[in-house]
Amino acid sequence: MSLNKCIRSLASSPIRLLRLSQRPLSDHRQPTTDNRQSSSYKFVVVGAGSGGLAVASYLSRKFPNQVAVVEPSPQHYYQPIWTLVGAGLKDIQDSVKPTASVMPKNADWIQEKVSHFAPEDNFVVTEGDKKVSYDFLVVAMGIGLEFDRIPGLVAALGTEGVACNYSFDTVGHTYEQLQKVRTGNCLFTLPNPPIKCLGAPQKIMYLAEEIFRKNGVRDQVDVTYKTAGGALFAVEKYRNSLLKVCEERNINIDLFRNLVSIDHEKREATFQHLDDPSLHEETLPYEFIHVCPPMGPVKELKASTLVDATGFVEVDKETLQHVNYPNVFSLGDCSNLPVSKTLAAVGSQSGVLRRNLMSVVKGEGLEAKYVGYASCPLITAADKCILAEFDYTGTPRETFPVDQGVERRSMYHMKADVMPHIYWKMVLEGRWDGPETYRKVMHMGRV
């Protein structure tokens, strides 16, 4: 089977994507509006991001009217597309839908934040002082953006030359600013983990460099990647491919450089040398800077007994069950799973979580195991992508029967055109467990 046929198969009968894409989204669900101060459900899912909805949609089909989703946001965002929005390749409206339109059928939506967790007594409390009891709890609260941890960043956002693709409110500014670049330093930053989608700052860097070439200003622009980490990418195979891209396109890489402040009035950014603290900080002028903000656990969750010392939900890395509370599970960015925080990881985690949660409900042993699958579609141009896939050990775990460490137009098509359909029509409806089945088919079972 050719690669193009393999990709088209992901959008055809094997996964029923075309048929599903013609179905309307689940019936619009409105938030609970009664004045009850307490309620009880068999399942409570905290968070209506990709992981929370994937689990809640599945549960609501099996247990109608026994599921509550606690989520304050009136909007749901498809965040992986923001890199393409920032590069002018997709419209920002492609990334957002009303939460009501994606809330699962036969589930109650409690449109509030959780302010307190009481896992010893099986309930949560919302900021509106509602007590919501449960038999089983799934925590999927994501991760918080902490812009204020970098002095000057909050004031700098939205000013000339400063961009950030990590927020719906800021991503629209990126392409506008990239088009204004004519000369000078263009910097792209990555702080220390935890970070969701560690590859995103690189992706916009490659796309920006391409924009500079198309605009005829590349010879007057210095492009530099400033990462707090010690390597361009963790997995060696893909790192080598990316290093080659950077070398061919004259992109500078500065390791162990952490952004510590920004002055938008002077258009200067200051970096700390993490590899040698004895060195003075370096302050550089910028024409353009894309800032990846520091991130951390949601504060309400961090204050609970569900988390480890880092503030993330403490679960078994294979079963996703909480280490102390057997009726609690967690997935996605809010968990302490030692894996890249990506949407692809959430897809695989949701399948394992659903199976193991059903085993607990039935009083059976937990047999589903999460191997740490994660993926990062590393877009290197407006028509090319390196599709990195790997597991806990950093071993490549590639879906397609080709070398995915090579830049390919087909992988870009997968990222830009196929994955959004899979997301809206399958992930959020709890019908996507990751690509493992298709991986086995495409490799004819030899994996």
The structural domains of the chain, with segments of one domain joined by +, span: 3-143+297-442, 145-295
195 pLDDT higher than 50: yes
Report yes or no: 165 and 85 within 8 Å, Cβ to Cβ.
yes
pLDDT at residue 31, as a whole number: 56
Over residues 107-137, the pLDDT tens digits come to 999 999 999 999 999 999 999 999 999 999 9
pLDDT at residue 254, as a whole number: 98
What is the token pair recorded at 378?
Answer: 């590393």
pLDDT at residue 443, as a whole number: 84
13 pLDDT higher than 60: no
14 pLDDT higher than 80: no
What is the arithmetic mean of pLDDT over 223-246?
Answer: 98
Mean pLDDT for the chain? 93
What is the arithmetic mean of pLDDT over 185-211?
Answer: 97
* Weakest-pLDDT range from 5-14, 346-355, 432-441: 5-14
What is the arithmetic mean of pLDDT over 172-201?
Answer: 97
208 pLDDT higher than 70: yes
99 pLDDT higher than 50: yes
Report yes or no: 403 and 317 within 8 Å, Cβ to Cβ.
no
What is the arithmetic mean of pLDDT over 100-107?
Answer: 96
- CATH top class, domain 3-143+297-442: alpha beta
Share of the chain above pLDDT 70, in %: 91
364 pLDDT higher than 90: yes
What is the arithmetic mean of pLDDT over 253-266?
Answer: 98
Report yes or no: 270 and 283 within 8 Å, Cβ to Cβ.
yes
Report yes or no: 246 and 225 within 8 Å, Cβ to Cβ.
yes
pLDDT at residue 278, as a whole number: 84
Measured distance CA(124)–CA(128) in Å, rounded: 11
In the CATH scheme, what architecture does the domain 145-295 have?
Answer: 3-Layer(bba) Sandwich (3.50)
pLDDT at residue 71, as a whole number: 98
Sorting pLDDT into bands at 50, 70 and 90, what band is 12? very low
In this prediction the pTM is: 0.92
Q: Which of 197, 246, 292, 334 is catalytic?
A: 197
Over residues 24-74, the pLDDT tens digits come to 334 444 555 444 489 999 999 999 999 999 999 999 999 999 999 999 999
Sorting pLDDT into bands at 50, 70 and 90, what band is 226? very high
Measured distance CA(36)–CA(442) in Å, rounded: 52
Respond yes or no: is residue 376 known to be catalytic: yes
234 pLDDT higher than 90: yes
Q: Which of 6, 186, 246, 376 is catalytic?
A: 376
10 pLDDT higher than 80: no
What is the arithmetic mean of pLDDT over 85-112?
Answer: 97
Measured distance CA(82)–CA(92) in Å, rounded: 7
433 pLDDT higher than 60: yes
pLDDT at residue 122, as a whole number: 98
What is the token pair recorded at 132?
Answer: 């919501």
Measured distance CA(379)–CA(364) in Å, rounded: 43
pLDDT at residue 222, as a whole number: 98
Sorting pLDDT into bands at 50, 70 and 90, what band is 446? low
Respond yes or no: is residue 6 known to be catalytic: no
Partners of 381 in the beta sheet?
A: 384
Over residues 141-157, the pLDDT tens digits come to 999 999 999 999 999 99
1 pLDDT higher than 60: no
Helix ranges, 28-105 (H) = 50-62, 82-86, 99-102
Over residues 296-348, the pLDDT tens digits come to 999 999 999 999 999 999 999 999 999 999 999 999 999 999 999 999 999 99
Same fold flag, 3-143+297-442 and 145-295: yes
Over residues 166-183, the pLDDT tens digits come to 999 999 999 999 999 999
- The amino acid sitting at 260 is V
DSSP strand pairing (162-163 vs 282-285): unpaired
